[in-house]
């Protein structure tokens, strides 16, 4: 684990460079994808703080993203708040709700933690599905994007918004990296490794878990606010448990414990989905293009393969490869 | 409205009908959870497979009763294959891997169904014998729905007798109680588990086939049902047959009345109930004796 940590920053820098390079040459559609990758990366990195760092496997994390998205939509559409202020409010609301739910859910662990977070996430879904004020199952449309006119920029342009989302993702990455490397983050890692030992040493384990759950919820709120800004349309589907499940798969795909891995996993997921759901990809393989509408079949099989095969995810494999090459070269010398 | 006896009788019967379906669906999930601490999210997919296999069987043989026999058997075989090919390798894995691998299966299941049967919703006609309505407690009620209730009660009685009176039942009860001890006594708990798993799949398939004339059959019909079944299992206590029956009754009735009386809350109450049970009675309402 320690030796791999060395590759954390280089991997993140590589990822950022790749994103910047793509952004430099991207067409309008690719810009939309980039923004989506950035927002999903924020969400999966927040989940990584729970799953990979602290060892709390939540199957209801999408509930907090949805809470952030609906807060931004409500604040801008109903009260006329500027989107930037709505973003701050979204984070506060998501954090508050995560803290309230966290008070209860952190008492459980293992499979029971998975089940109760599932129930909590579904409560968000059921609420938004029925709340007529928020458009019920039709959702809400028309959330404005952040106003960057002061910088002389128009956030309505896909390129500008993609850059904004990418910068947000980078900031979130740095913030979470600081958190995981702080004494607080070290404690979270220790809880992951041996919770009962820590408890017997007198560490208030539950307080740390509650703090982690709240922090992860707050960051998910950022992703929610940006989702509302990006698509301008939100629906209860954002809170549905399958979205939480997809985010968990992405976290595993990226590799356990690595923030950069979670972000890379988000990129791989969005690109794969785009690839598999485009008819030209399948006809390029001289297969019927109708397969594109069944892209979830291949995604599902990939999910299973990822869970079965990649024990430590893409990032882990990559770090292992670099590490192995490194030692071989050293041995030759 | 609430004090009208006719309304109460009809809604209670609706609740019981849903409870019977939930019972059939949740038994397998519960026993697998109780026996192996294994959560199979693809259980709803097996329910959907039961409905679609029943659809094909009705089309092929033009007999609902044959479909009711063949579809569950098909699902049991499917479940057995699934176990041998995939799930067996996950028995010792941590819960996250189990949940996510079976989560992937949900996507595969929906798409396979879409590929084979198309994305449009289907229905099956109610068999002629049960097509009409019956007079019960002074209310006119569809006979087929009464049949579902009766089937649920019958299967509960059968399963209860099997669990309490047969050797296999004793092994299963002991396995839920302490799996390692049963294995140490020289019983091949692995093959018992395969058998129980297939039986659970059979019942899920039966639930799908029975539900087919009442629900609409479409790819994705498994998602909402799966969550309800999970709630039933948690509510009753994993591995407890009586718990599954009690959980099904509670969820069936609460959900039915909830949709009618307080539609704006809808499933919020059911999820809240699940969270509360997990917190204050993690072993469920009717815990298995000696469960830790």
Is the CB of residue B230 less than 8 Å away from at least one CB of chain A? yes
Chain B CA closest to residue A248: B100
Mean pLDDT score, B122-138: 81
Which of A10-14, A113-117, B84-88, B94-98 tops mean pLDDT? A113-117
Helix and strand numbers, DSSP H then E, in chain A:
15, 2
Mean pLDDT score, A89-107: 94
pLDDT tens-digit readout, A218-263? 999 999 999 999 988 899 999 999 899 999 989 888 876 788 888 9
Closest by Cβ to B104, choosing from A126, A127, A304 = A304
| Per-residue confidence (pLDDT) for residue A215, from 0 to 100 | 95
Mean pLDDT score, B27-42: 82
DSSP state of B217: B
Q: Given pLDDT bands bounded at 50, 70 and 90, which one contains residue A312? A: low
Q: Given pLDDT bands bounded at 50, 70 and 90, which one contains residue B84? A: confident
Residues in B closer than 8 angstroms to A249, CB to CB, are 100, 103-104
Q: How far apart are CA A260 and CA A255, in angstroms?
A: 9
Residues in B closer than 8 angstroms to A299, CB to CB, are 107
Q: Given pLDDT bands bounded at 50, 70 and 90, which one contains residue A333? A: low
| Per-residue confidence (pLDDT) for residue A221, from 0 to 100 | 95
pLDDT at residue A66 tops 90? yes
pLDDT at residue A1 tops 60? no
Task: Measure B124 CA to nearest chain A CA, in Å.
Answer: 25
Q: Given pLDDT bands bounded at 50, 70 and 90, which one contains residue B48? A: very high
Task: Name B259's Cβ contacts closer than 8 Å, sequence gap at least 6.
Answer: B266
| Per-residue confidence (pLDDT) for residue B50, from 0 to 100 | 92
Is the CB of residue B118 less than 8 Å away from at least one CB of chain A? no
Mean pLDDT score, A154-167: 87
| pLDDT, averaged across chain B | 84
Mutate to test the interface with B, among A115, A247, A308 (most CBs of B within 10 A): A115
Which of A65-79, A107-121, A286-300, B172-186 tops mean pLDDT? A65-79
Please return the burial class of A272, using the count of CB atoms within 10 Å of its CB with bins 0-12, 13-18 and 19+.
Answer: middle
| pLDDT, averaged across chain A | 86
Please return the burial class of B261, using the count of CB atoms within 10 Å of its CB with bins 0-12, 13-18 and 19+.
Answer: exposed
pLDDT tens-digit readout, B237-273? 887 888 899 999 988 888 888 888 777 776 788 888 8
Task: Name A125's Cβ contacts closer than 8 Å, sequence gap at least 6.
Answer: A63, A66, A236, A239, A240, A241
| Per-residue confidence (pLDDT) for residue B288, from 0 to 100 | 66
Q: Do B279 and A107 touch (CB under 8 A)?
A: yes
Q: Where are the domains of chain B?
A: 15-119+132-280
Q: Given pLDDT bands bounded at 50, 70 and 90, which one contains residue A318? A: low
Q: Given pLDDT bands bounded at 50, 70 and 90, which one contains residue B289? A: low
Tokens of A198: 């820590």
- CA B155 vs CA A13, B159, B166, B206: distances in Å: 61, 6, 16, 11
| C-alpha Rg value of chain B to the nearest Å | 19
Tokens of A145: 């994007």
CA-based nearest residue to A151, from A72, A84, A91:
A84
Closest by Cβ to A252, choosing from B100, B227, B278 = B100
Task: Measure B65 CA to nearest chain A CA, in Å.
Answer: 32
Q: Do A297 and B272 touch (CB under 8 A)?
A: no
pLDDT at residue A2 tops 50? no
| Per-residue confidence (pLDDT) for residue B99, from 0 to 100 | 83
Region B15-119+132-280: CATH code: 1.10.3470
| Per-residue confidence (pLDDT) for residue A3, from 0 to 100 | 46
| Per-residue confidence (pLDDT) for residue A322, from 0 to 100 | 72
Q: Given pLDDT bands bounded at 50, 70 and 90, which one contains residue B292? A: very low
| Per-residue confidence (pLDDT) for residue B92, from 0 to 100 | 74
CA-based nearest residue to A220, from A210, A208, A232, A212:
A212
Angle between helices B5-36 and B43-61 (to 10 degrees): 110
Q: How far apart are CA B280 and CA A208, in angstroms?
A: 22
pLDDT tens-digit readout, B153-205? 999 999 888 888 888 888 888 887 777 888 888 888 778 888 888 988 999 99
pLDDT at residue A332 tops 80? no
Q: Do B275 and A116 touch (CB under 8 A)?
A: yes
| Per-residue confidence (pLDDT) for residue A136, from 0 to 100 | 82
Q: Do B267 and A120 touch (CB under 8 A)?
A: no
| Per-residue confidence (pLDDT) for residue B7, from 0 to 100 | 82
Q: Do B108 and A297 touch (CB under 8 A)?
A: yes
Q: How far apart are CA B72 and CA B76, in angstroms?
A: 6
Closest by Cβ to A115, choosing from B109, B112, B278 = B278
CATH class of the domain at A3-332 = mainly alpha
ipTM exceeds 0.90: no
Task: Measure A71 CA to nearest chain B CA, in Å.
Answer: 19
Q: Which of residues 245-284 of B touch A (CB under 8 A)?
A: 263-268, 271-272, 274-275, 278-279, 282
């Amino acid at each position: 684990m320690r030796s791999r940590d060395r590759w954390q920053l280089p991997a993140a820098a590589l990822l950022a460079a790749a994103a910047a390079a793509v952004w430099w040459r991207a067409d309008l559609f690719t810009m939309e994808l980039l923004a989506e990758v950035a927002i999903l990366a924020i969400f999966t990195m927040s989940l990584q703080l729970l799953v990979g760092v602290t060892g709390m496997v939540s199957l209801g994390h999408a509930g907090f993203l949805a809470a952030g998205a609906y807060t931004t939509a409500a604040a801008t559409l109903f009260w006329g708040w500027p989107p930037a202020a709505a973003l701050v409010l979204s984070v506060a609301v998501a954090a508050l709700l995560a803290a309230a739910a966290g008070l209860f859910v952190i008492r459980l662990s293992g499979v029971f933690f998975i089940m109760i977070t599932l129930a909590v996430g579904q409560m968000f879904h059921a609420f938004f599905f029925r709340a007529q004020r928020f458009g019920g199952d039709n959702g809400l449309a028309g959330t404005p994007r952040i106003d960057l006119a002061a910088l002389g920029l128009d956030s309505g342009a896909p390129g500008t918004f993609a850059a904004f989302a990418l910068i947000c993702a980078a900031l979130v990455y740095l913030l979470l990296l600081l958190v995981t490397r702080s004494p607080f983050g070290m404690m979270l890692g220790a809880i992951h490794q041996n919770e009962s030992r820590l408890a017997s040493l007198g560490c208030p384990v539950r307080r740390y878990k509650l703090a982690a759950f709240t922090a992860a919820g707050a960051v998910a709120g950022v992703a929610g606010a940006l989702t509302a800004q990006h698509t301008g349309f939100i629906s209860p589907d954002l809170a549905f448990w399958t979205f939480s499940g997809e985010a968990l798969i992405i976290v595993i795909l990226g590799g356990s414990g690595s923030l950069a891995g979670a972000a890379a996993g988000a990129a791989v997921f969005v690109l794969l989905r785009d690839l598999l759901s485009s008819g030209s990809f399948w006809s390029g393989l001289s297969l019927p293009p109708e397969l594109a509408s069944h892209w979830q079949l291949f995604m599902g099989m990939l999910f299973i393969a990822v869970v079965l095969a990649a024990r430590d995810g893409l990032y882990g494999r990559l770090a292992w490869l670099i590490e192995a090459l490194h030692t071989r070269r050293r041995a030759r010398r | 409205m609430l004090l009208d006896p006719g309304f109460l009788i009809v809604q209670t019967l609706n609740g019981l009908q849903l409870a019977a379906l939930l019972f059939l669906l949740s038994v397998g999930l519960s026993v697998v959870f109780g026996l192996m601490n294994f959560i199979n999210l693809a259980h709803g997919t097996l329910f959907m497979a039961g409905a679609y296999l029943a659809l094909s069987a009705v089309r092929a043989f033009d007999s609902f009763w044959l479909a009711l026999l063949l579809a569950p058997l098909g699902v049991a075989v499917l479940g057995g294959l699934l176990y041998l090919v995939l799930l067996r390798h996950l028995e010792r894995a941590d819960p996250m891997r189990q949940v996510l691998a079976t989560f992937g299966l949900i996507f595969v299941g929906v798409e396979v169904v879409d590929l084979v049967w198309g994305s449009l919703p289907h229905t099956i006609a109610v068999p002629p014998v049960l097509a009409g309505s019956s007079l019960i407690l002074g209310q006119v009620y569809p006979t087929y729905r009464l049949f579902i209730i009766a089937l649920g009660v019958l299967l509960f009685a059968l399963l209860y007798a099997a669990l309490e009176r047969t050797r296999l039942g004793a092994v299963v009860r002991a396995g839920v109680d302490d799996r390692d001890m049963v294995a140490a006594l020289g019983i091949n708990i692995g093959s018992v588990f395969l058998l129980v798993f297939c039986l659970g799949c059979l019942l899920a398939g039966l639930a799908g086939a029975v539900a087919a004339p009442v629900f609409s059959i479409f790819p994705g019909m498994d998602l909402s049902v799966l969550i309800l079944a999970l709630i039933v299992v948690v509510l009753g206590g994993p591995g407890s047959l009586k718990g599954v029956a009690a959980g099904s009754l509670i969820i069936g009735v609460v959900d039915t009345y909830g949709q009618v009386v307080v539609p704006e809350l809808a499933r919020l109450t059911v999820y809240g109930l699940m969270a509360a049970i997990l917190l204050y009675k993690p072993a469920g309402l009717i815990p298995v004796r000696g469960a830790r």
